[in-house]
């Protein structure tokens, strides 16, 4: 167990999309530094496997089946966690999906799922987590944006719109809830080696290996991100090293937007 300035002992953290990718890496990192981590996901099998992995490595974790597009499910999870532990300290709004299509190609249902998971999901959890954090004396909310929430990308119209919304939602929430000692920040990953990135290759009908190589091309650091790279930024925002940081958008992309 780690300690020092990153010490998260006695902290309770919710992580959405926690069964894999960036969500799992962040949950592992927060647990490594002492947090009691609640993984939220719609994949029960992967979620329980993720919890077992964290617990087997000495961390504290539980899994909650939760569809972040459902406000009632989000409310129920927050209520259950608060009733169990008496406080809520960290929320990592990370769940997201992508559809690699232009607005002309997009079906309305695909537009809706991207916006609802990535943007509405952050709203749904925050709506109920914030009052719990107020009762806890404050907290830290971290939202997953994207480099494409700052700069547009090709054939990703819904994703770009959702992530741009997340970026500005972060700033609005930071303004509204600073008085409650709640910090709200956004981490914007570049291409990171996750199941989501590999799903993009499938949607674009490209060979996976070549797609991953092309995704790293042109970055000053000349590689893809790893989930742990992003998890380290989440750890910073969750810890006391960022006590005077709110409304911030941290790009973690190997220099891709430089």
pLDDT band at 4 (very low <50, low <70, confident <90, very high): confident
pLDDT band at 5 (very low <50, low <70, confident <90, very high): confident
Whether the predicted pLDDT of 231 surpasses 60 = yes
Whether the predicted pLDDT of 2 surpasses 70 = no
Asked about 159 being catalytic, the answer comes back as yes
| 135 within domain boundaries | yes
Q: 23 and 41 in contact (C-beta within 8 Å)?
A: yes
Q: Looking at residue 16, which CATH number applies to its domain?
A: 3.40.50.720
Looking at the chain, the whole-number percentage of residues with pLDDT higher than 70 is 99
Q: 91 and 13 in contact (C-beta within 8 Å)?
A: yes
| 218 within domain boundaries | no
Q: Which domain holds residue 140?
A: 6-191+227-247
Q: What pLDDT score was predicted for residue 201?
A: 87
| 201 within domain boundaries | no
| 258 within domain boundaries | no
Q: What pLDDT score was predicted for residue 142?
A: 99
- Residue written as token pair 């797609």: 211
| 186 within domain boundaries | yes
pLDDT in tens, 14-29: 999 999 999 999 999 9
Q: How many CB atoms lie within 10 A of CB 60?
A: 16
Burial class (CB in 10 A: 0-12, 13-18, 19+), 51: buried
| 206 within domain boundaries | no
Q: 163 and 143 in contact (C-beta within 8 Å)?
A: no
Structural domains of the chain, count = 1
Whether the predicted pLDDT of 3 surpasses 70 = no
Task: Give dist(CA 13, CA 36) in Å, integer.
Answer: 6
| 41 within domain boundaries | yes
Q: What pLDDT score was predicted for residue 108?
A: 98
What CA–CA distances, in Å, run from 225 to 37, 185, 194, 220, 232? 23, 20, 9, 12, 12
Of the listed 129, 159, 161, 186, which one is catalytic? 159
pTM for this structure?
Answer: 0.96
| 119 within domain boundaries | yes
Task: Give dist(CA 212, CA 150) in Å, integer.
Answer: 21
Backbone angle region of 233, left / alpha / beta, with phi > 0 → left and psi within -120 to 50 → alpha: alpha
């Amino acid at each position: 167990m780690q300690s020092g300035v990153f010490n998260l002992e006695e902290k309770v953290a919710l992580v959405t999309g926690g069964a894999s990718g960036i969500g799992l890496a962040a949950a592992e990192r927060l647990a490594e530094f002492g947090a009691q981590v609640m993984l939220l996901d719609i994949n029960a099998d992967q979620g329980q496997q993720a919890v077992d992995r964290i617990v087997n490595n000495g961390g504290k974790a539980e899994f909650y089946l939760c569809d972040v597009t459902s406000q009632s499910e989000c409310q129920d999870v927050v209520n259950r966690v608060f009733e169990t532990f008496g406080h809520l300290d960290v929320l990592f709004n990370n769940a997201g999906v992508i559809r690699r299509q232009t607005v002309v190609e997009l079906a309305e249902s695909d537009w809706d799922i991207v916006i609802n998971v990535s943007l509405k999901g952050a709203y749904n959890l925050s709506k109920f987590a914030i009052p719990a954090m107020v009762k806890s004396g404050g907290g830290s909310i971290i939202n997953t944006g994207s480099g494409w929430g700052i700069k547009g990308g090709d054939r990703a119209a819904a994703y770009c719109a959702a992530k741009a919304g997340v970026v500005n939602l972060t700033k609005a929430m930071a303004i509204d809830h600073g008085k409650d000692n709640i910090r709200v920040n956004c981490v914007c990953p570049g291409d990171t080696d996750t199941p989501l990135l590999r799903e993009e290759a499938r949607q674009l009908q490209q060979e996976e290996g070549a797609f991953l190589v092309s995704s790293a091309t042109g970055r000053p650091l000349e590689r893809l991100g790893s989930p742990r790279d992003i998890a380290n930024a989440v750890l910073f925002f969750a810890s006391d090293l960022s006590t005077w940081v709110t409304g911030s958008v941290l790009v973690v992309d190997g220099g891709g937007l430089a």
